[in-house]
Amino acid sequence: MEGIEQLPEILRLASGYIYPNEAELHWGFLVVIYPYLTGLVAGAFILASLVKVFNVKALLPTYRLSMLTALSFLIVAPLPLLAHLGHPERSLQIFLTPQPKSAMAMFGFVYAWYLMMVLLAEIWLEYRIVLIEKGRTKKGLKKLFYKFVSLWDTDTSKKSIIFDHKAIHFITLVGIPSAFLLHGYVGFIFGAIKANPWWSSVLMPVVFLFSAIVSGIALVLILYTLTSLFKSRPIDMKCLEKLAAFLLYALLVDFSLEMLDFIHRLYESEESIEILGHMITNRLFISLIIVQMLLGTIIPLITLSILHIKKDMPVEFRRLGYLIAAVLIQMGIFSTRWNVVVGGQLFSKSLRGLTIYKVEMLGTEGLFMGILLLVLPLIILYFVAKILPMWQDDPVVDSGTK
């Protein structure tokens, strides 16, 4: 009897590989959320850069919304990783004992640079005059708060405003490659893992980057439409049309890159292609084929293309079509992150079988924690919008691009 009980272990050792049910997924639901949030940050900032650097004036109504959205999501971006590690206080070791050879460790410095020297600096310059005016008109603690946030600056001269515009232009120029680095490095980490055929691809950083641009534009489109409706503000259709156009272009590039990566894998026909095909048609069929490809890519592409060509459709129908397409794209991008992070851990190193991953409801890695981390940036954005005006025509002094 004892020999029979040990038979599975003997067979396992003799075969030279582990069974799938013996493998544990180390990167779970929270690690899926992390690249999704950083992608929204990068995409929202790149959208904002179209106004200040490329002078796309049609997008001016969404500039401040894009910046505040990027800030709100950037504040929450490291929280999934900190919760996943279990000891968030140990993250300080990244700064105390820096390790430049570790891509993950260098994220701390990229994050600090992007938050302090790019986002906060640009937002402060954009709202400097607004903060000064509010510091003059408010009373009590609010007055003290706005004076503190404005750094007790009182210069509202035309010369200082011109300097603000030039500084914002320069910071945005620096911020574009910084945004690429912030999210591109996530794809770099996965693409550099040569032992995993699902991750190892030179196109992985580029695919991550363009999917981030797509998700950021889609998020701003959703927020702009919904906040305008809730605030009973007229929606600038020129702005919405331009948002949808850039979303369509970015989605086309992203879809082309993903197809190129897929065709390249088929052409190589490595030994892993059989198990990867089995994984796609079984474990990832719903998340990859249905959600990511069909609902998150093909249907939005068709919808946006029709609306882009048919300019004579009713305005209400166009708004609804853009909103639905953006929501479906968000579902597709999140599914993309799921398929990359979780999908790459579903097969054994021997490429002989698949394992199963189920999200828990409670706990640090549970579904409720993930939903909280996804909703938290929107809550932060709500309170930030209470302090800083989100709309371009709200402040006393308009700081538009002239």
CB 207 within 8 Å of CB 258: yes
DSSP-based three-state secondary structure for 354: strand
Which is more confidently placed, 226 or 272? 226
Which amino acid, 268? E
Percent with pLDDT over 90 in the chain: 41
Which amino acid, 294? L
Regarding pTM above 0.75, the answer is yes
CB 181 within 8 Å of CB 8: no
Interval 175-211: pLDDT, tens: 888 888 887 778 888 877 777 778 878 888 888 889 9
CB 217 within 8 Å of CB 240: no
Above 50 in pLDDT, residue 344? Answer: yes
Which residues lie below 8 Å from residue 159, measured CB to CB, with a gap of 6+? none
C-alpha–C-alpha distance, residues 218 and 39, integer Å: 11
Mean pLDDT, rounded, of the chain: 84
Residue-by-residue DSSP string for 285-300: IIIIIIIIIIIIIIHH
